[in-house]
Structure 1
Amino acid sequence: MIEVILVDKDNVQIGTAEKMEAHRQGLLHRAFSIFIFKSNGEFLLQQRAPGKYHNGGLWTNTCCSHPLPGEDTLNAACRRLSEEMGFSTRLTPAFNFIYNATFDNGLTEHEFDHVFTGIYDGEIKADKAEVSDYCYKKLEDITDSVQTHPQKYTEWFKIALPKIKTFHEKNFNKL
């Protein structure tokens, strides 16, 4: 049984819950999203595997998940990036946001999302149980695609994309 960390709107831990139960009840919990760029500025997108418990087949940020109870969020992000995408790189905190989205299968993502970013130009060995495809694209091309085909992307990605664009423009050379 995988548990998630329940938090209040200020990201203060208030308990834990079984992951699927937290998603069934729409409980606010801690999560993270990772945005990886190549050194030329292109962004690494992943397409979620069709068998994922929600949003299977949709395109999204490089990696996302939840820290385990007692696990530091940055350490969890590093662990999960290696497990899911098959590589490691230095991650930098970018920003946080809260979002709440309900899906057709009755599950709700209500997350306090910690966003991390990093740079990586090496080989990718994605876990096929998690990732069905991946590609690098320019942020402008992704933004255009999200505007013309929003149904192809996860809800949290559509919320985070304008924020990561702003962060990237101000900070890419500092990463």
Structure 2
Amino acid sequence: MNAALEDPASLVRRIANEHRHIPGGLLPALHAVQDALGFVPADAVDALAEATNRSRAEVHGVLTYYHHFRQAAPGRHVVQLCQAEACIACGANELAAQAQRQLGCEMHHTREDGAVTLEPVYCLGLCASSPAARINGRVVGRMTPEKLDRMLANAGLAP
């Protein structure tokens, strides 16, 4: 069945069952759910706990431990700014402040109109090209406030 046509609860149950017998299958199952839905809904915890023979608390703990997993649907556009040490040392805090001003939302939030979600990430693998950002899946190094402004404007996210 096409995942786009499958209801979310059925999709989660199917993914959970596909990972049932895989040692360490919880993380791949969480990734599969988020890849399919864009986030991991709260009601997925029960199905994943049952399939992986874990408690709800264990699944919730893994879900909330990793910054990568979202528990709510993201905005139509996602802006991620690296907050790892190399990027912080090269100006990531200033970029975060600039992005929050330009986008009109705080880190970890989605703007009220649902257009954009602003997220911190903790390494995009471009430490030698810090600071780094990912905008709608496109990773960019040596990000500057001016480059960020241009990219947000080109995506229709800022004036």
Using structure 2 for the length normalisation, give the TM-score: 0.28
Select the structure that is richer in strand.
Answer: 1
Select the structure that is richer in helix.
Answer: 2
Using structure 1 for the length normalisation, give the TM-score: 0.26
Q: Which has the higher contact order (CA 8 A, sep 6+)?
A: 1
